[in-house]
Structure 1
Amino acid sequence: MNENPQEDPNDRQDPWGDRPVPAPQYGQYISGPQGGPGGQHPSGQHDPTRGPQQPEQRGGPGIQRRRRGDGMPVSWTIIGLCVAVWGVQWLVYATTPYNLASILGYAPVLTTSEPWRMLTSGFVHSMPSPIHLLLNMYTLYLFGRMLEPLLGSWRMLVLFVLSVLGGSLGVLFLGQPNMLVIGASGGVFGLFGALFIFMRHFKRNITPIVVLIVINLAFGFLVGGIAWQAHVGGLIVGALVSLTMLPGLRKRR
C-alpha cells in the first residue's frame, strides 16, 4: 500500500491495542438435502493540576468514545436475524413439506429469475446440526467486536451486506450453475479481508490474519460440502470495500 508523505500520523494510530486476532474455523455450506492521554500537558509532560495520570488509551480518544457509545448493534442484529431464520427453518421443516434453504438459498442458475437469493442465502444455515450456524455467528461476533466500533454501524452494515453479495458473485463466476449455497461465511470472509486491510493500514503485524485467511481458505478446499467460491468472493469484496472506506475513516477520526 502506497503511503502518503503528507499523512497525519494520527491516521495510523492503532485502534485495537494489544488485543489478539481470533482464529475460529467455519464454512459456507453447499446446501444438502436438508438444507491524548488523561493527565498529560500539551508539552507531553504530566500536568499535576489535572490529577493522577491515567493509563494511556491505545488508539486515541475518538476510538474510545465509539467503543463505549456505539457498541456493535449491527453485528448483534445480524446474529439475531440468522438465529431467528434458523428457528423458522425448523418450523417450516416440521410443519410443511418445504425446505427454507431451498427457498432462500442461492444458485447461479437463479440469478436472473430470483436475484434476491444472492442476499437471503447469507442468512440461512444448514440443518439439522447447529454447528454451521454457531461457528459463523461466533466468528461474526469476534470480528464485529473488532471492526464495528472502528467503522460505525452503517459502514459495518455496508461491509457485511456487500461481502455477502460478493460471496454470491464468487459462486456465480466460480461455481456450478445448479450448486445451491447457504450461510453467512461470504459475509464473514469479507470481515477477514477488511481486517487485513485495516491492520495493514495501522501497521499492525498482519501475519496472524494472513495465517487465519490461508487456513480457512484451505479448509474450504479440502473439506467437501463447503463453498470455497463464496469464501473467495466475500474475501475479495470485503477487502475492496474496506479500501474505499479508508478516506472516510480518516475523516471520521
Structure 2
Amino acid sequence: MPPPPTDQVPVCPRHPDRESYVRCQRCGRPTCPECQRPAAVGIQCVDCVREGARTVRQGRTVFGGSATDGRPLVTMTIIGICVAVYLLQQVVPGLTNRIAFVPALADTEPWRFLTSGFAHGPIYHIAFNMYALWIMGQYLEPLLGRARFVALYVLSAVGGSVVYLLMSTPQSYQDALLNGPGSWYTSAVGASGAVFGLFGAFLVLQRRLGRSAAGMYVIIGINAVIGFVIPGIAWQAHLGGLVTGAACAAAIGYLGRAKGPMQPGDRRIHWAALAAVGIVLVLLAVARYSTA
C-alpha cells in the first residue's frame, strides 16, 4: 500500500518539518510537542495561549489600579532618587540652593516646587523621610496601583511647596534670617510634604475601607508638635502635603465608585479629579505671586 500523500500528513504550523497528530483544543490546528501547552481541558498551541492571555481582563485593586506582583517598585525608585540627590548635595557645591524651594525664586524657577521634595538636610532628615516613605509605600502603592501612587506622591510634594508659599510673607532677606521658615527668602527642602501626603491618603483610604487608622493620628500629632517645637522645620509644607494627599485619596476612594467592581469610567473620573487637584495648586501659586 503506497504511503499517503505528504500534503495529508498533519504538520505543526510553526514547525512545518514536524509531523503532529495532536491538535489544539481551541483552534484545531496540529501542534508539535514543543508548541503544546497544557490547558484545563486537553492541549492548546502557544499561539492560542498567547492570544488568550491578551484577552484576559487585567486584575484590578479595590481602588481600580492595575494589580501588580506586590513589589513597591515606585517607592523603591523614589527612595533611590532621593538618596542619589542627597549624595550629589554632598559633592556638588550649591546644588541644594539651586533645587530647594524658595518662595522668592520659585515664580521664575517653578521646578523648585517639585525638586525640593527630593533634596534633604542632615542625615537624620533623609533617614526619617525614607523610612516613612518605605513603610507607607509598601501599603499604598499596591493598593492604589503604581500610576496613582506616583500622582499622589508628586501632587503631595507640590502641594507642600504651594502651602509653604501661601503661608510665607514677603520679607527682606535679612528679616528672613531672623524669622526662619515661612518667610519669603527662606528655603525648604525634604520629602516631608510628600510623606505627609501619604499620611493623609492613608487616613482617607482607611476610612473608606472601614479600617482603623488610630496609630496614624498619633504619628501625625507627634510630628505636628515637633514642627512647632524644633526650629527650622517647615511645618507649612507638612500641612500642605497632608491636605493635598487627603484630597487625592478622597478623589480616588469616593468619586465615581458605586457598589461592586470599579468600572473603567470610574478610573477616568479619578484621573480627571487628580488633574483638577493639580490645576488648583497651580492657580493658588499664581494667585499668591500676583498679590505679592
Contact 2:86 2:119 in 1 (8 A): yes
In structure 1, the partner of 2:112 is 117
Runs of 4+ in 1 over 3 A off after TM superposition: 61-68, 247-250
Letter in 2 for 1:134: A
In structure 1, the partner of 2:262 is 251
Identity %: 42
CA shift, 1:245, in A, is 1.0
CA shift, 1:79, in A, is 0.1
1:170-225 Cα offsets, whole Å, 9 max, x none, are 11011211110000000000000000001111111232211211111111111111
**Any stretches of 5+ residues in structure 2 without a counterpart?**
1-58, 168-181, 265-292
Distance 1:173 1:68, change over 3 A: closer
In structure 2, the partner of 1:212 is 219
1:72-94 Cα offsets, whole Å, 9 max, x none, are 111111000000111111121xx
Q: Is 1:148 matched with 2:148? A: no
1:172 corresponds, among 136, 160, 165, to 165
CA shift, 1:67, in A, is 7.2
In structure 1, the partner of 2:99 is 104
Aligned length: 186
In structure 2, the partner of 1:76 is 76
In structure 2, the partner of 1:38 is none
Distance, in Å, in 2 between the alignment partners of 1:118 and 1:161 is: 10
Instruction: Choose between structure 1 and 2 for higher RCO, CA contacts under 8 A separated by at least 6 residues.
Output: 1
CA shift, 1:252, in A, is 6.6
Contact 1:70 1:153 in 2 (8 A): no
In structure 1, the partner of 2:25 is none
CA shift, 1:112, in A, is 1.3
Distance, in Å, in 1 between the alignment partners of 2:132 and 2:113 is: 21
SS in 2 for 1:193: helix
In structure 2, the partner of 1:11 is none
The structure having more radius of gyration, on CA atoms, is: 2
Q: Which moved more, 1:228-237 or 1:109-118?
A: 109-118
Distance 1:69 1:148, change over 3 A: same
2:125 corresponds, among 125, 132, 153, to 132
CA shift, 1:114, in A, is 0.6
CA shift, 1:110, in A, is 1.3
SS in 1 for 2:223: helix
* RMSD value, Cα: 2.2
Contact 2:68 2:145 in 1 (8 A): no
CA shift, 1:62, in A, is 5.9
Distance, in Å, in 1 between the alignment partners of 2:60 and 2:237 is: 35
In structure 2, the partner of 1:4 is none
Contact 1:166 1:186 in 2 (8 A): yes
Distance 1:91 1:248, change over 3 A: farther
In structure 2, the partner of 1:239 is 246
CA shift, 1:63, in A, is 5.0
